[in-house]
Amino acid sequence: MSYLTFHQGANLYFLICVRSLLLLRQNLAAKGVVGPELDHALKLGREQLELILDNSGISVSQIGALLANIANSSSSANDEEMMTRLLNRSLSPEDTVFRCVSAAIQSGLRAVSLLGKGFEGNALVSASLQRAGALGLQELVVNLGVKLERLASTTCVVHGPFYSVIMGLNR
C-alpha cells in the first residue's frame, strides 16, 4: 500500500472512530449514563474500535453491532440495526456533524504541519479536536500530521524540479 493511501486511510479511520464515539456518547447520555461510568464506556469503546478498525474488511454493520454491545449489556438485533443506521447516516458527507468532525481533524493536521508537534501545534490540535469531542485522539492526529509533513517535504524534494519545469513552460 502506498504511503499516501495509508494516510488517506488514517484520515478515514479518525472520522469513523470519532463519529462512532460521539454516537456512543449520545446513546449512553440518553440512557442517563454520566461521569466515570461514561468515561469508562468511551474508553472501552475506543479500545475496541481500534482493534476492529485494524481489520480492512470491517463493515459498518459490524461497527454498529459493537457500539450497540457497548451501549447495552444485552443488545438486540434492533439495537444493532439502529446503531448501524445512525452510523451510516452520520458518516455521509451531507451530515452536519460529519462536516464538523472532518474540519476539526483537518484543522488539527494543518496545525501540526505548520506549527510542528511542539506546544503551539499541540495546543491548536487540542482546541480543534475538543470542538468535535475527539480530544482522546490527539496523539494519533499529531503523529499523522508529522508523517504527512514528512510526505509533503519528500514530495517537494523529489518532484519539485519537475514542477518547476512545468510551471516555466506555462509562462
Query: How high is the pLDDT of residue 8?
Result: 65
**With 90 as the cut, is the pLDDT of residue 123 above it?**
yes
User: Mean pLDDT across the stretch 8-33?
Assistant: 81
pLDDT digits over 66-116, tens only?
988 888 765 677 888 888 888 888 888 888 878 888 888 889 989 998 898
The CA-atom distances, in angstroms, between 87 and each of 26, 49, 58, 123, 165 are 12, 13, 14, 29, 47
